[in-house]
Structure formats: C-alpha cells, structure tokens
Amino acid sequence: MVPLALGSAGGYPQEMLSVFIETRAHSAELALTLASLVPGAVEGVIREVVVVEREPDEATRKVADNAGCRLIAARQLAAALRSAKGEWLLWLEPGARLSEGWTEPVVAHLAGGAAVAARFHPLRPAGAGWSWRLRRGRSALRDGLLLPRAEVSTLQSGDESLDAIARRRKAIRLPVSIRPSAGP
C-alpha cells in the first residue's frame, strides 16, 4: 500500500491537509477510508493521516501502521489537533469514502482564502428510498468535515470525540461526494 503521508508530490503546498479518523475497532472500515485517500496522498494534498484509537485493537493498529498513519490514543487528541502538520484538518469516520476526483474541489476551497469549514455531499446507497437520510444515524462526521486547524487550536481536553467537536461546527457543502460508512 502507498504510504499516505507523502508530502508535496503533486506540487501542492506542504501545509495542506492533516486527516483524522477516529476508530473503535474498525479495521476493515479504516482500510476502505484510507484507500479513498490515496489519490490525495499521491498528489501531495495530504500531509499526514492520524488514526485516533478510542478502543485498543490490534487489527486497527496493523492497518494504520501498514498505511503509514500515525496512531494515537484518544486522550492525545487535543495535543494531536494542535500539532497537526496541515493547516487544514479533514475529519472522516471509518468506512467513509470520498469520491473519485475529490482533491480538485478541496484544493480550490483551501486556496479560496476564506477559512470556512466544509462538508461533502452524501451518496445515497443504490435502492435506498426517500427515508434514507432519516435512517442514516446522527454522526456529525457522516459527511466528513474539513476545517482550518485554527478552529480547534484552543481545544484543551482529549476526552471529547471528533464527532462531538464536529457537532458544534457549521459548514458549507463542497461539490464532492462521500459514501458514508455503512455502520450505525
């Protein structure tokens, strides 16, 4: 697997994105999400990927290690957010997959100058009816969250989950699709 912290291969600035994925023994889902990030790593959009481990799990550790991710315990989250290498943070839940071509709209948003948080458009599963959105759960990270690192620089406690922090953020929608996790 291609390491996900490649730097500036595509000519983008080094300080682009730090990706954070919070897991609770989701090794298979984590692998799906990491696979969708490979184009961003190859193009140099992703500076680092941090896997936040809420529940210790050897399989998750192995996936993170093989992909070149930094693995941290949940109690280290606040410090990791403050010391993120990227000027922008991309938060995803395990199992979520960004659509092909996601890097161009994200880079355009970052280069736009306005430090505005953003989310992606969820793809409806094949065969899902009109009530799909009502049944998909309440995770604030279902649609991902892209935000400037400065917005979380004052966070003091690692007790809060990414989801809890994301609930307090308003965000615009980017023209990028995300296939949300199939989880609860």
Residues 150, 115 contacting (CB under 8 angstroms): yes
Classify 101 in phi/psi space as left (phi over 0), alpha (psi -120 to 50) or beta.
left
Give the residues of the chain that fall short of pLDDT 70: 1-15, 124-138, 153-159, 183-184
User: Nearest Cα to 19, choosing from 63, 74, 80?
Assistant: 80
Q: Check residue 113 and give its pLDDT.
A: 80
Please state the pTM of the whole predicted model.
0.85
Q: Check residue 156 and give its pLDDT.
A: 59
Q: Check residue 152 and give its pLDDT.
A: 82
